[in-house]
Amino acid sequence: MTARSERDAPIGVIPPHRVLIAAERCKGCGLCVAVCPPEIMELGSLNRLGYAVVHVTDQARCTSCTACALVCPEVAITVLRPRKAPPKPEGNP
């Protein structure tokens, strides 16, 4: 799976681009478009190999669910998730 946290981002900050597409790896199969819950992915312009490359229409609506990355047979999608605060130890206020 290609999901990770933004290690350099402050805790709780959501990166501006949650979904990154490796355009030259995308073969335009459309599987990611079909499984995207908020329906924010669509096929667009052609890459140098002649395949329609998927792109995200609204990064702000992305839920970082990683469904798109999980179904991509070309591993062309990376999903970024906001960094979470570490859990506080029990017994400490």
What is the DSSP annotation of 3-28? EEE-TTSPTTPPPS-SEEE-TTT---
Write out pLDDT tens, residues 66-92: 999 999 999 999 998 876 667 778 765
Residue 21 — very low, low, confident or very high, per pLDDT cuts 50/70/90? Answer: very high
Q: Is 7 a member of any domain?
A: yes
Q: What's the domain range around 57?
A: 3-81
Number of domains in the chain: 1
Tokens encoding 62? 């992305």
* pLDDT given at position 89: 80
> Where residue 46 sits, what CATH number does that domain have?
3.30.70.20
- pTM: predicted TM-score of the whole model, two decimal places: 0.73
**CA quadruple 27, 28, 34, 36: dihedral positive or negative?**
positive
